[in-house]
Structure 1
Amino acid sequence: MENLKTSFMTSNGEVQAVRGVSFEVRRGEIVGIVGESGSGKSITNMTLLKLLPDTAVIKDGRAMFQGQDLTKLSMKELRKIRGEKIAMIFQDPMSSLNPLIPVGEQVAEIIRIHHSDRSREAVKQEVLKRFAEVRIPEPEKRYHAYPHEFSGGMRQRVMIAMALANNPELLIADEPTTALDVTIQDQIIRQMRELKEQHGTSIIFITHDLGVIAELCEKVEVMYGGLIMEEAPIDELFEHPSHPYTLGLLESMPSIQQDKAERLIPIPGSPPDMTNPPAGCPFAPRCRYARKICAAELPELQPVGEGHSARCWLLDPEAPAEQNPFKKR
């Protein structure tokens, strides 16, 4: 993905949801995208498959997949890729599944669209195989069940089975563990890891939960205000956070050793209005280290270490060392 920009044209003006995002996902790699609600995580990835409302406009950039720019493909060309080469798990399985059709038939439809030559029985057997892979008990019986007969965790497993139906090469998981209890979250994370190991599937995992990111991902992109604020290998990010926003996210996480009476540390302030994004760093109004230049001019991503960069004026080579809370290496 190179310099991707996506806006929404509304009655209140242009909402600049994604403002120049660039990152790379390698084959068999799990990349996490983390950030607060409204940071542009989901819209960035919805843009890849043009799963956007009519008010959305892709303003600039490229999204290259196997030599093709997805942003330039027609809807007919994209339909050949959606669900087969690139699949997506949506955040809310209840609203993503049709309540009037048995779940097995909904998964079978995905296979029939891309493999019209297969018999009905062959498609059903493929669905049952996928149900078994994601540990849905009694697949034959569950094939004919309706979404309301499943728990939240089981519905999410149906969505994963649907996404895996055609062995996609890239899986986009949009907050698949949100609103699930920790036991089910752990099971979903394990299944994602098995996908990578068994099928070599590349995964983009979108979440606001750094704990989930730490469990699953190899690399992480931290988003805020429609921009990548920091990117790093997962261990490097937790050991050496190099942007005040990343630091704030880490500080706001509860610790198992933390005293129950101890208050969490929130990030003060609110996210920026994307109809009128700031000229400088979008996090500057909330940043404890902000200087005059932070509000006036947007910094570029600065290298911090191997595979690690952050968008902060404190990392600029000309920034006074004594004002820099992040250790340069």
Structure 2
Amino acid sequence: MSTLTPSFCRIGYLLLLTYISAPGQAIDQSSVDNSPMTMQISTQPATTQTHTDFTESSCPASQACVDTLAAPDTIRRSTRRLRTGLLLSSSVLSLGATYVYLEKKWWSEGYTNFHLDDGRDFRYASNIDKFGHLLGGIVTADTYYGGFRWAGMTKQRAEWYAVGAAAFVQLSIEFKDGFSPRYGLSWADVAVGTLGGFWPMLQNHAPFFRDSQVKFSYWQRTDKYYEHRGIKTQAFSIDDYINQTYWFSFSPKYLFGSSLKQKWPDWLQLSAGVGLDADTWSPTRNGEGGLWEIYLAPDINLVELFKPRKPWLKSILHVLSYIKVPMPTLQIAPRPRLWGLYF
């Protein structure tokens, strides 16, 4: 069972943190002291910053980059405490709302004795659901990494705490699945979701991943999922994998030498996608089986394209970057096909 929907529930929280943190501005103590949060608790004169472990040059526009105003030595202790309190309270509210949502959507069929997955997890949706768990871990880690840095945590510690947050959220959901008659705790889902927690670390230390993005798209091309389940067609269902596509968008300038790196537009990316073929999916109505669909398409880095100066606009574009921009697309498998515009 994917954690994509509850992870996207935290997007608004990420947007709030990145807006308050004013990403993209110069790092100095006056900027921190004059932030809306700090002005409420401190009116003392600003001091000059002398050190930071994260520079603007190491933070591309494609990232929300709360690091630009979150170097620990530029934040007063009282401000750290306030922001840590806001972070914890927001987390409790977010996780509580997620629990209520899942209780109604996924765990409404009652409970049974705790049990592990019996192996169906590796047959369900031909493992396309694992990409949902991976993206869920990435969104969770991205959210909490920004929150930890905003609260004044060092970059290295925030990276590892983000991994822990992704693992905790995934394990909590899977533990609950262990009591569900339809599911069971899947260690594979926990592992994949935790793996997504390393995304901020990869983006901070590897230039290729710094300019890369993991994305999601949903295009309801068929009602087969709802027909097989015997339920009314909805605008969206997290288990409707035959209408979902997961993408990895990257800049090829890192793959073909320095000459291309100088000429390739920063905003133009290539994207590889994977989905589930509706014609071969679930012949017995249990959600198992189906061939993979493989796609190649151009993509757009929205932040690099518009290069916004306003922090709130940059944050919004960062959030929207989790959604694949519709583009002409080449389907490679299971049958070659050219889509004029693929969502």
Shorter-normalised TM range:
under 0.3
TM-score for both structures, normalised by structure 1 = 0.26
* Bigger proportion of residues as strand: 1
TM-score for both structures, normalised by structure 2 = 0.25
